Chains A and B, each alone.
Chain A
Amino acid sequence: GAVVSQHPSWVICKSGTSVKIECRSLDFQATTMFWYRQFPKQSLMLMATSNEGSKATYEQGVEKDKFLINHASLTLSTLTVTSAHPEDSSFYICSARAPGLGELFFGEGSRLTVL
């Protein structure tokens, strides 16, 4: 199957700082990637759809100025959590579909802890 890689797998930062998470499709090109957030023992909540070469599409209630998404190439999307606060602590996970396949492949996830 296709491989999606995410980095870093975990990060701890101070309140008020910004954190960047990278999502790469390693063996296929992804014009679209999806960013999800998962709180402990909860479901995967879609935050935004990342579109290569254009603006991301954010889900209702997700602040686009706080969660900056950049999809500069067909294999890389980044999520930057700006001015992070403790309530932003969560498991952030990206995903993408390889061309011709319906299956959604997930990255390893990034666990963010904001102190």
Chain B
Amino acid sequence: GENVEQHPSTLSVQEGDSAVIKCTYSDSASNYFPWYKQELGKRPQLIIDIRSNVGEKKDQRIAVTLNKTAKHFSLHITETQPEDSAVYFCAAGGTGGGNKLTFGTGTQLKVEL
């Protein structure tokens, strides 16, 4: 089955700096790679996703890059703000309704003033 590794487990940045979180996956059949943000005690919320036919996707301050050959994808957050502080999870899997997603171990991001 799919195995997703995520680094770092914790990340502390100064407000305004950039944050980068990296994930690797094992199953070459995976073609969908979402990133979720989870605040304490709440449900995960999708912040951006990318499919395997695209190498990069950007949405305002958030971007994701995908390297299919290396089975590696990354989340980039620029101009970080205190409200970006949360746990971020990457995931990998298929896009079909019945296709499960395997999640990474999570990154606790803290944006300091």
Contact = CB atoms under 8 A, between A and B. Distances in A.
- For the complex of A and B, list the 9 residue pairs with the smallest distance between their C-beta atoms, beginning with the closest: A102-B95, A106-B43, A32-B98, A44-B103, A97-B97, A43-B105, A43-B103, A43-B106, A103-B46
B34 A42 contact: no
A56 interface: no
Contacts, number: 55
B103 A32 contact: no
A64 to B, nearest CB: 16
A44 B100 contact: no
A44 B44 contact: yes
Interface residues on A, range: 20 to 34
A49 B43 contact: no
Interface string B61-103: 0000000000000000000000000000101000101101111
Interface of B: 32, 34, 41-46, 49, 51, 89, 91, 95, 97-98, 100-106, 108
9 contacts: A32-B97, A43-B105, A44-B44, A44-B103, A46-B101, A49-B98, A93-B43, A104-B101, A106-B44
Nearest to B101: A104
Contact of B97 (A30, A107, A109): A30
A99 interface: yes
Interface string A29-52: 011101010000111111001010
A34 B44 CA distance: 14
Interface in A92-115: 93, 96-97, 99, 102-104, 106-109, 111
Given A103-B49, A106-B43, A43 B100 contact: no
